[in-house]
């Protein structure tokens, strides 16, 4: 058993094999440790997030090290058959890697009975293992930016099915029409840990579509109608690049493959709410690069925080004026508000007094762009209802940005914690990580910031890394050597090594870094494994 640092509030426990991993996962769920907030199981590891003010890393490691790993009780689960069209774009390459024909790949895949070892990466994504499986292939050198929903893939010893269109590095051998994740089902995930899975060959087939799920939640009028202010709403005129509902996210559901998502600049979101007198965790609109405009119906109080963008109000009579962010803005019937392109920063947060009248999905209003969970992105013509203010709310008059918003010309320094796989990289790579400036590329989004520099990071260890849990802020390095800095909508597990993670106190700043800005990583710790002598003395 090894203990590896991840962040100031997270460690990875590395075990001998999948059975030990699942045994420890069962043990920690059966008899929990105070201060542990979340556990993400993977192939050989558990990622454990904890509260450092409740339990220290050393104390946590001591407690875990004493657990019995010989008590795993695996029951035989339900059998699920998955139809597959074996026409994947990596099928021929997989056959070449294994030195067999494509027909033999299909034959081995369909003749094996798989078991769901654990779920993760994304909602509905199950990691499948089989005792008789010989289809062991490495991940792709560079992950694809988009893999279609239903894609059947191989990576290492695992087989898996992508429940949603998403980035990924698995070798794709086919596609299935089965919907792996559907909020209208109970449970939502088709495959549960312990289930058995068999794949059925449907022939080459043509392009297929996956049936859309039923609407999973009751209409808002059935849920919140009594709380809606009948006289106040916002009518959307333009949305800019992207406008989403975001709050503080869905915590505690990562082991089910459900990411926390949530605002990328949580401090700005809290500030916007406090300015209008809302609870600080209320949902706001997260607006990327400005471009949002709307008409106020009725009297509405709003606040805009985050990115430094011009805010223009035009009254119903045609008078125009600019207002500042980080202050309450009192709107009257017919006022039009427009957010311009930010001078600095990327994301603005708009709060309304009373809050938005939207029904939470899986306990949150946050929209997860990777898993497509949450209220749909804001569209032109949407009418956003507002909740009635039922009691007096204190307002904050002294809110301001927590940091200077970065511009595309800036060099932004981010503190990082080295680990858990820093020792997989060469000494030169570690030096380059710290000394090179890493440019933010246009492919960056809420899933992660894709970085580029002249010299890629080289690995010392070229083995295939079994999938393991990841956190927001993780700096994952695919085979290309160009890092990806994970943001809130990141996959929960991944098979590329993480060289370090952005310190939690710099995550809001990371969420505001624009394209073409450059990042300098500043390690605040030395990498070292938490030795048994440290935690068991």
Q: How far apart are CA 329 and CA 75, in angstroms?
A: 59
CA contacts within 13 A on the Cβ side of 410 = 16
**Which of the two residues, 452 and 372, has the higher pLDDT score?**
452
DSSP assignment string, 148-189? -TTEEEEEBTEEEE-SSSEEE-SEEEEE----SB-TTSSSSB
Chain segment 243-289, per-residue pLDDT in tens: 999 999 998 888 677 889 999 999 999 999 999 999 999 999 999 99
| Sequence-ordered list of residues with C-beta below 8 angstroms from that of 217, at least 6 positions apart, any chain | 183, 223, 359, 361
* Residue 216 in this model has a pLDDT that exceeds 80: no
CB atoms under 10 Å from CB of 327, counted, come to 13
* Residue 140 in this model has a pLDDT that exceeds 50: yes
Return the pLDDT at 239. Answer: 98
Q: Residue 77 CA to chain centroid, in angstroms?
A: 29
For the record, the structure tokens of 335 come out as 């006022």
pLDDT band at 75 (very low <50, low <70, confident <90, very high): low
Q: Which domains does the chain have, with CATH numbers?
A: 2-74 (3.30.1360.40), 80-201 (2.40.100.10), 220-387 (no CATH), 411-523 (2.40.100.10)
The answer to whether the predicted template modeling score (pTM) of the entire model surpasses 0.75 is yes
Question: Residue written as tokens 């119903």?
Answer: 316
Could you give the residue ranges of the DSSP H alpha helices within 236-394?
A: 266-276
Please classify residue 464 by burial: count the beta carbons closer than 10 Å to its beta carbon, then call 0-12 exposed, 13-18 middle and 19+ buried: middle
Angle at 147 between CA 145 and CA 148, to 5 degrees: 140
For the record, the structure tokens of 85 come out as 């069209």
Q: Which helix (H) or strand (E) holds 196?
A: strand 196-201
Mean residue pLDDT of the chain comes to 92
Chain segment 386-425, per-residue pLDDT in tens: 999 877 678 998 999 999 999 999 999 999 999 999 999 9
Please give the backbone phi and psi of residue 233, each rounded to the nearest 5 degrees, phi first: -165, 170
3-class secondary-structure state, position 4 = strand
Q: How far apart are CA 263 and CA 405, in angstroms?
A: 16
Return the pLDDT at 534. Answer: 63
For the record, the structure tokens of 100 come out as 């067999």
User: Of 42-51, 121-130, 220-229, 514-523, which range is least confident?
Assistant: 220-229
Q: Which helix (H) or strand (E) holds 97?
A: helix 91-98
**Which of the two residues, 435 and 467, has the higher pLDDT score?**
435
* Residue 241 in this model has a pLDDT that exceeds 70: yes
Chain segment 303-332, per-residue pLDDT in tens: 999 999 999 999 999 999 999 999 999 999
* Residue 504 in this model has a pLDDT that exceeds 90: yes
Return the pLDDT at 219. Answer: 43
Q: How far apart are CA 329 and CA 336, in angstroms?
A: 12
* Residue 536 in this model has a pLDDT that exceeds 80: no
Q: Which helix (H) or strand (E) holds 63?
A: helix 57-65
């Amino acid at each position: 058993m090894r203990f590896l640092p991840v962040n100031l509030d997270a460690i990875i426990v590395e075990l001998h094999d999948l059975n030990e991993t699942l045994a420890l996962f069962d043990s920690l769920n059966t008899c929990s440790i105070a201060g542990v907030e979340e556990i993400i199981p993977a192939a050989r590891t558990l990622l454990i997030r904890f509260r450092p003010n409740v339990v220290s890393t050393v104390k946590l490691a001591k407690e875990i090290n004493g657990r019995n790993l010989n008590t795993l009780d695996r029951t035989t689960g339900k059998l699920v058959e998955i139809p597959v069209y074996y026409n994947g774009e990596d099928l021929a390459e997989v056959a070449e890697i294994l030195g067999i024909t494509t027909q033999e790949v299909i034959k081995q895949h369909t003749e094996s009975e798989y078991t769901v070892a654990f779920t993760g990466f994304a909602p509905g994504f199950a990691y499948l293992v089989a005792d008789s499986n010989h289809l062991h292939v490495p991940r792709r050198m560079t992950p694809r930016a988009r893999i279609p929903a239903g894609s059947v893939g191989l990576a290492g010893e695992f087989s898996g099915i992508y429940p949603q269109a998403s980035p990924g590095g698995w070798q794709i051998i086919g596609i299935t029409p089965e919907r792996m994740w559907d909020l209208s089902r109970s449970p939502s995930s088709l495959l549960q840990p312990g289930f058995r899975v068999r794949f059925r060959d449907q022939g080459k087939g043509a392009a297929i579509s996956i049936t859309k799920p039923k609407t999973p939640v009751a209409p808002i009028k059935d849920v919140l109608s009594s709380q809606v202010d009948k006289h106040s709403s916002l009518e959307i005129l333009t949305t800019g690049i992207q406008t989403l509902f975001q709050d503080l996210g869905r915590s505690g559901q990562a082991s089910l493959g459900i990411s926390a998502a949530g605002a990328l600049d949580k401090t700005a979101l809290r500030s916007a709410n406090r300015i209008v007198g809302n609870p600080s965790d209320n949902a706001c609109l997260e607006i990327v690069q400005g471009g949002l405009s709307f008409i106020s119906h009725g009297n509405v109080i709003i606040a805009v925080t985050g990115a430094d963008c011009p805010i223009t109000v035009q009254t119903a009579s045609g008078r125009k004026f600019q207002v500042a962010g980080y202050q309450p803005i009192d709107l009257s019937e017919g006022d039009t508000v427009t957010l311009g392109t930010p001078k600095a920063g990327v994301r603005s947060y708009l709060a309304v007094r009373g809050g938005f009248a939207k029904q939470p999905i899986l306990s949150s209003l946050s929209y997860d762009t990777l898993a497509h969970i949450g209220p749909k992105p804001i569209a032109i013509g949407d009418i956003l209802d507002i909740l009635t203010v039922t009691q007096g709310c204190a307002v904050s008059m002294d809110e301001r940005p927590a940091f200077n918003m970065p511009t595309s010309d800036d060099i932004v320094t981010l503190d990082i914690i080295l680990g858990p796989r820093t020792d997989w990289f060469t000494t030169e790579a570690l030096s380059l990580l710290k000394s090179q400036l890493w440019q933010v590329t246009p492919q960056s989004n809420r899933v992660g910031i894709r970085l580029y520099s002249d010299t890629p990071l080289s690995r010392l260890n070229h083995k295939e890394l079994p999938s393991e849990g990841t956190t927001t802020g993780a700096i994952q390095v695919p085979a290309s050597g160009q890092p990806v800095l994970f943001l809130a909508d990141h996959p929960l597990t991944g098979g590329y090594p993480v060289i370090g993670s952005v310190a939690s106190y710099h995550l809001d700043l990371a969420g505001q870094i624009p394209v073409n800005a450059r990042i300098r990583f500043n390690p605040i710790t030395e990498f070292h494994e938490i030795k048994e002598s440290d935690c068991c003395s």
